[in-house]
Structure 1
Amino acid sequence: MFNQKLIILIVVGAFITQISEAAPKQSEIEWPKFNASDSDGNELVEYRIGWLPKAKYQEALDLMAEYMYRENPFVVAFDWGDDADVLNNHLSGWSAHLDKGISVACFKNSSDELIGVNILYIEELNQDYVDPEKPVTYPKDIPSKFRNLMKLTHELHTVQRFNVFEKYGVKRYLSSDGLVVRPEYRHRGIASQLLGVRKMICAKYNLKLTSTVFTSDASNALAVKMGYELDTFKMYADIFSKLPEQYNVNMTEKPEMFSRRSIKFFN
């Protein structure tokens, strides 16, 4: 029988991608520190960016599950916020990327509370790379309901698996499996700082560029502000128009664009 959980995993976008098995030994990076208001909006405090310690991995997963997962447009549309199977698929992918040891985090200097996290990994060209334009094939016994979802999967796949390697002439690049900041600390430039350190990380690991899928209006606007080049995109209106009507009832405000963007730091 056709595995419905597999469809759920693919459609939501929790892909576990091929990543570097042996990251280079980490050396010291001159991490940024910056001042911004505290969570109450009054006192000015100092924040710092740095590697995410292993002792903080579970807290990072909890933060991703509580906010990034529940704010995912497809989780909202499919009403999967409390679906343990879908969430566990996401947690599995995030854990695999965290174990590579190159994710970054934001802390307050006066506290070890995790304010924000950006899960990072190195994606490499390999023989298993799938052409996003390859025609979709369906199992013979797939119900029509899930056939529609697989068509949607293909729409997302062209963005998720855009051939960054070919466009930029690289064999490795820095990518991300999600960036999240606690709601009470948003609008303080923390996401910008987390994105900004990617240049230093690319320099450290001898990578020329970073490339990421951006799923919200806020993240797309931030990417534009920071100079990311638009590689490919899908408009959410077009994506959701392909959904069966019953899967579209929970989206009161649809974001505009599901995009892949890259920025090349070094030639």
Structure 2
Amino acid sequence: MNSTTRNFGSFEFDKNGVRFKYRIQTATGDHFDEIFEQLGYDFLKQERLNAAMNIISDFEAVEIHKSVWRDMVCNGTTLIALVENDCVEQGKIIGFNFTYVEKKDEDFSWASSNKMCRQMSKVLSEVSRPGNIFEKYNVDRYLAAFGLMVHVDFAGSGIGYRLLESRQKLCKCLGLSATGTVFTGYISQHLATKLGFEVLSSLDDEHIDFGDIESHLDDTKGKDIKFMALRYT
């Protein structure tokens, strides 16, 4: 388990006349339970693909998410936003981005018999694989991600932007020159575009295949899913 944190800067924002200060850093295994309890369930309920499949209703699928995310945290690649001043509970985690290193010859896989997780993995692969990030950027590894969430009380405060922005510093620490992610909603796609991410491949909602899983995509949050990437110079 990685117990060393990397700090990537402190930031401030005003909310209802109160000045908040927070920092972006990597998480350690000790942070995982707090991350999941505070934000993990919200992500599973609100992120478009997870919500469409109602994954939160499948106990096994939720536990598999937790296991995959825990591994990412313990590997030292997860980014979190923590409150630094006493406007709310100091040290409170108000945002996360579960990231990991994707390798050319080792496809990220759920390796699970759970139907929902297998289908989710298939959908993510169908949108990202055509992007050919390894060939396009001439890399054999890149920083991938599997979930970004900001606490609902702090939405619109720039935290999601800072989490995405901090990937560049994390990549430098890890010896990586590129990052790429499937962004499923308008907001995350907009933030990625502002930071210079380009769309390598995309899939319109009507072409997303959920197999025989009953599903309903919220079209108020997006019309497609996009694999977007950024190469750092």
TM-score (norm 2): 0.82
| Closer, same or farther: CA 196–252 of 1 in aligned 2, 3 Å | closer
Structure 1 unmatched ranges of 5 or more: 1-21, 131-145
Report matched runs for 1:1-267 at 5 Å: 31-38=8-15, 41-110=16-85, 111-126=90-105, 128-129=106-107, 154=122, 156-161=124-129, 162-239=131-208, 247-248=214-215, 251=218, 253=220, 255-266=222-233
Go from structure 1 to structure 2 and tell me whether the alpha carbon gap of 1:252 and 1:225 turns closer, same or farther (over 3 Å shift): closer
Deviations 1:78-115 (A, max 9, x none): 33333212211211211121121121211111211111
Aligned residues: 220
> In structure 2, what is the Cα distance between the partners aligned to 1:122 and 1:64?
22
Q: Distance in 1 between matches of 2:92 and 2:72?
A: 21
In 1: Cα distance, 2:125 partner to 2:82 partner: 34
Query: Which stretch of the first structure deviates more once superposed, 177-186 or 84-93?
Result: 84-93
RMSD: 2.9
Q: Which has the higher strand share?
A: 2
The one-letter amino acid of 1:194's match is: L
Rounded Cα–Cα distance in structure 2 between residues aligned with 1:89 and 1:26 = 25
Q: CA deviation at 1:232?
A: 0.3
CA contact (8 A) 2:5 2:27 kept: no
Aligned in 2, Cα 1:255/1:54: closer, same or farther, shift over 3 Å?
same
Contact 1:236–1:254 (Cα < 8 Å) also in 2: no
Note closer, same or farther for the CA distance 1:199–1:154 as it changes in structure 2 (3 Å cut).
Answer: closer
Q: Is the CA contact 1:61–1:95 (under 8 Å) kept in the aligned structure 2? A: no
- Look up the SS of the partner of 2:189 in the other structure: helix
Which amino acid is the alignment partner of residue 190 of structure 1? I
Compute the TM-score of the two structures, normalised by the length of structure 1. Answer: 0.72
Query: 1:218–1:249: structure 2 CA closer, same or farther, 3 Å change rule?
Result: closer
How far apart are 1:72 and its partner, in Å? 2.5
Correspondence for 2:111: none
Return the alpha-carbon distance in structure 2 between the equivalents of residues 193 and 32 of structure 1: 9
**SS of the residue 1:88 aligns to:** helix
* Shift in alpha-carbon separation, 1:212–1:265, aligned structure 2, 3 A: same
Following superposition, the deviation at residue 221 of structure 1 comes to: 1.0
User: Cα deviation per residue 1:35-90 (whole Å; 9 max; x = unaligned)?
Assistant: 1124xx22112121112233211111223432111113233323333321221121
Q: Deviations over 1:116-155 (max 9, x none)?
A: 11112111222x549xxxxxxxxxxxxxxx8xx96x9755
Contact 1:79/1:250 (CA < 8 Å) preserved in 2? no
Identity %: 23
What is the identity, as a one-letter code, of the residue corresponding to 2:125? Answer: H
Supply the distance in 2 between the matched residues of 1:36 and 1:174 (Cα, whole angstroms).
28
Distance 2:190 2:174 in 1: 27
Q: Could you tell me which runs of 5 or more consecutive residues in structure 2 were left unpaired when the two chains were aligned.
A: 109-114
